[in-house]
């Protein structure tokens, strides 16, 4: 800094030397002028130097900033290149993944299409099967109801008809379709009709007939009646003991006593045989006393056949045949069997109980249920 005031002297312009020599030529000018010029040039020089230093510092700073900026830009470019490379790799990976996903999506779409078509086919098949199953169920119900109606009309099988109606209603309740409500309502109506019928103890009546049939072979007949044997002759009084006083009588010989005993025995047997030869009896049908064993056998079989026919008529609800066979069996018991015997009286009492049974019950039909099923099947 001490050398700075000398710089203007070396770098002074050519006019400055002339000005320096001027005091010698012109001694009339004052001596303070050079000092003022030097005083003005020093701040200017300082300012210039300061400005130069500032410019140099600014240049150096700018250069450093530019260099650091270049380095930063270079680093950023390197990072950008690496990032671009990674991005390109990732983009290629994403593209490959996208292509793979697209292929999988297309495959899934194809499978979905196939699944939808299969689902539609399965739904159609299920609908067909459901429709066919309903048709089969209705056909089976119709057959069961038709059979139950026939048995109800021919044999009066009320329990069987009730079981058939209950099974039909149970089969319809499994499907839970509102279309079957009409059929179930008709089945319920027919069920109430059957439950309202008066009960006939057909089993009890059949058991009584079976009991009478089993007793026919053991019932006593008028032709089989044995005569009443005569009462045995009372024994003669024994002779009195030693202490007793016997009446005075002539002593009899032993051979006379023996002869008397033989005569009494022979006369008693002969009288019994004579009493068996002649019997007097009051009967309504004289022919009943003259039946041979063969005729008696066929008569018993005829009575059993009549009772079996009455049993069949009972099961068939044929009241006319039932009454006729019972009357014929009772007439045979009265004409040809011993009505005084206890077994015969028991058989007659059982037949009277059977005859008191009422079979004249008008059986309803299952037409409501059958018509409901047939009308449903006739719908398109």
Q: Containing H/E element for 45?
A: helix 33-154
- CATH node for 122-197+364-378: 1.20.120
The pLDDT score that the predictor gives to residue 278 is: 58
Torsion 84-86-90-93 (CA) sign: positive
The pLDDT score that the predictor gives to residue 241 is: 45
Q: Mean pLDDT highest for which of 129-133, 155-159, 230-234, 280-284? A: 155-159
Distance CA 5, CA 181 (A): 130
Between 81-85, 94-98, 224-228, the lowest mean confidence (pLDDT) is in 224-228
Q: What distances in angstroms separate CA 340 from CA 154, 166, 207, 344, 348, one per listed residue?
A: 40, 52, 24, 7, 11
The pLDDT score that the predictor gives to residue 277 is: 63
The overall average pLDDT reported for the chain is 75
The pLDDT score that the predictor gives to residue 316 is: 75
How many of the other CB atoms lie within 10 Å of CB of 348? Answer: 18
- Whether the pLDDT of residue 23 is over 50: the answer is no
Angle subtended by helix axes 319-336 and 293-315, to nearest 10: 160
The tokens for 68 are 């650091």
Distance CA 326, CA 332 (A): 10
- In the chain, residues under CATH classification 1.20.120 are 122-197+364-378
Identify whether the C-beta of residue 139 lies closer than 8 Å to the C-beta of residue 168.
Answer: no
Reported as a pLDDT band with limits 50, 70 and 90, residue 302 is: very high
Distance CA 230, CA 222 (A): 20
Distance CA 71, CA 64 (A): 10
- Whether the pLDDT of residue 6 is over 50: the answer is no
- Whether the pLDDT of residue 38 is over 70: the answer is no
pLDDT in tens, 308-358: 999 888 877 778 888 899 999 999 998 888 888 899 999 999 999 888 877
- Whether the pLDDT of residue 88 is over 50: the answer is yes
The pLDDT score that the predictor gives to residue 15 is: 41
Distance CA 355, CA 194 (A): 24
The pLDDT score that the predictor gives to residue 46 is: 85
Tell me if the pTM is above 0.75.
Answer: no
- Residues in the chain, overall count: 380
Reported as a pLDDT band with limits 50, 70 and 90, residue 26 is: very low
Distance CA 305, CA 334 (A): 17
Identify whether the C-beta of residue 165 lies closer than 8 Å to the C-beta of residue 190.
Answer: yes
The pLDDT score that the predictor gives to residue 305 is: 94
The pLDDT score that the predictor gives to residue 239 is: 46
The tokens for 174 are 């499994």
pLDDT in tens, 43-64: 788 888 888 888 888 888 888 8
Identify whether the C-beta of residue 218 lies closer than 8 Å to the C-beta of residue 343.
Answer: yes
Distance CA 303, CA 325 (A): 9
pLDDT in tens, 139-181: 888 888 888 888 777 766 777 888 888 888 888 887 767 778 8
pLDDT in tens, 203-226: 788 888 999 999 998 888 887 655
Between 42-46, 233-237, 302-306, 351-355, the lowest mean confidence (pLDDT) is in 233-237
Ordered DSSP codes for 241-297: -SSS-PPP-PPPPHHHHHHHHHHHHHHHHHHHHHHHH------S-GGGGG--HHHHH
């Amino acid at each position: 800094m001490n050398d700075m005031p000398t710089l203007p002297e070396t770098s002074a312009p050519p006019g400055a030397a002339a000005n320096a020599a001027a005091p010698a030529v012109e001694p009339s000018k004052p001596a303070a002028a050079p000092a003022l010029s030097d005083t003005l040039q020093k701040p200017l020089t300082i300012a210039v130097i300061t400005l130069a230093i500032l410019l140099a510092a600014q240049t150096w700073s700018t250069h450093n900033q530019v260099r650091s900026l270049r380095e930063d830009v270079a680093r950023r470019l390197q990072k950008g290149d690496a990032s671009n490379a990674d991005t390109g790799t990732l983009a290629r990976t994403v593209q490959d993944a996208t292509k793979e996903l697209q292929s999988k999506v297309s495959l899934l779409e194809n499978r979905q299409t196939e699944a939808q078509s299969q689902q539609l086919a399965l739904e159609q098949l299920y609908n067909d099967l459901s429709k066919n199953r309903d048709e089969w169920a209705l056909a089976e119900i119709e057959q069961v109801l038709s059979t139950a109606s026939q048995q109800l009309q021919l044999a009066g099988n009320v329990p069987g008809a009730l079981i058939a109606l209950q099974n039909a209603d149970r089969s319809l309740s499994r499907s839970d379709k509102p279309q079957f409500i009409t059929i179930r309502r008709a089945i319920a109506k027919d069920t109430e009709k059957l439950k309202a019928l008066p009960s006939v103890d057909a089993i009890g009546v059949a058991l009584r007939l079976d009991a009478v049939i089993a007793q026919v072979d053991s019932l006593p007949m008028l032709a089989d009646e044995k005569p009443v044997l005569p009462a045995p002759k009372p024994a003669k009084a024994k002779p009195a003991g030693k202490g007793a006083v016997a009446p005075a009588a002539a002593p009899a010989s032993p051979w006379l006593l023996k002869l008397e005993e033989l005569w009494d025995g022979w006369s008693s047997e002969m009288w019994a045989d004579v009493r068996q030869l002649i019997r007097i009896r009051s009967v309504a049908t004289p022919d009943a006393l003259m039946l041979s064993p063969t005729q008696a056998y066929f008569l018993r079989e005829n009575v059993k056949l009549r009772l079996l026919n009455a049993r069949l008529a009972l099961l068939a609800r044929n009241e006319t045949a039932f009454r006729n066979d019972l009357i014929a069996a009772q007439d045979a018991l009265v004409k040809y069997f011993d009505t005084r015997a206890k077994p015969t009286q028991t058989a007659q009492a059982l037949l009277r109980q059977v005859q008191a049974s009422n079979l004249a019950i008008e059986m309803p039909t299952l037409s409501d249920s059958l018509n409901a099923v047939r009308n449903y099947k006739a719908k398109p």
